[in-house]
Chains A and B, each alone.
Chain A
Amino acid sequence: DQQVKQNSPSLSVQEGRISILNCDYTNSMFDYFLWYKKYPAEGPTFLISISSIKDKNEDGRFTVFLNKSAKHLSLHIVPSQPGDSAVYFCAASAGSNYQLIWGAGTKLIIKP
């Protein structure tokens, strides 16, 4: 059973518009969430994280929203740029164990 789900394998967005990537989780013990970006042939790059004591964290064009009651988080990228085309992974962990549970990724394509 997947504890972290990214239900959209791919997403296509016009340059300049907002990209919204979604992630759902089932384990209520998760209290730390991370987003990674991955280009082909490279390792994933950390983007932004959020702990369960917050419902929003912002870093430049990237904002992560956490809805604990719905067990849902989303990553907003605005405005979207061509360099944002990549695969985005959501990951979660529970407590100090820090064992990460990964989503399957969403491929974001930014159209010019």
Chain B
Amino acid sequence: SAVISQKPSRDICQRGTSLTIQCQVDSQVTMMFWYRQQPGQSLTLIATANQGSEATYESGFVIDKFPISRPNLTFSTLTVSNMSPEDSSIYLCSVESSLGETQYFGPGTRLLVL
């Protein structure tokens, strides 16, 4: 299994500002995923981050709004840029198991934008 931590666990931000969320894994992993869970909705995949290459974004998500860094095999950051109240959500990172049969999720970062 993999143990994943995220920082911050929660934050309240003003519109127009940016917040960077950190994700740390206790083992080296190739692929890391960033999800968003808006109130009352299921998890939505934002992007897939592979170490050493640009992140791959899902439809509806763009790099200018959600820049991602993946400097090594145990760490990634997601920035929510120029925030608006619509960005209020829970953001989660996850990694695939070594056999690709399941995913492990971080505890999430709860973001409220005023």
Q: What 0/1 readout, one digit per residue, does chain B (84-95) give for beta carbons within 8 Å of chain A?
A: 000000101000
Once the chains bind, are A104 and B104 in contact (CB under 8 Å)?
yes
Once the chains bind, are B101 and A87 in contact (CB under 8 Å)?
yes
The answer to whether the Cβ of A102 comes within 8 Å of any Cβ in the partner chain is yes
Q: Please, which residue of chain B has its CB at the minimum distance from the CB of A88?
A: B102
A38 shortest CB reach to chain B, Å: 7
Q: Give the complex CA separation of A64 and B107 in angstroms.
A: 22
Once the chains bind, are B108 and A107 in contact (CB under 8 Å)?
no
How many B residues have CB within 8 A of the partner chain? 19
Can you list 30 pairs linking A and B with CB atoms under 8 Å apart?
Answer: A9-B101, A9-B102, A42-B45, A43-B44, A43-B45, A44-B42, A44-B103, A45-B43, A46-B41, A46-B42, A46-B43, A87-B101, A89-B105, A91-B105, A97-B9, A97-B10, A98-B90, A98-B110, A99-B9, A99-B10, A99-B108, A100-B90, A100-B107, A101-B107, A102-B104, A102-B105, A104-B1, A105-B102, A105-B103, A107-B102
Instruction: Give 12 A-B pairs besides A9-B102, A36-B42, A99-B9 with Cβ atoms closer than 8 angstroms.
Output: A36-B43, A43-B43, A43-B44, A43-B45, A44-B43, A45-B43, A46-B41, A46-B42, A89-B105, A98-B110, A100-B105, A105-B103
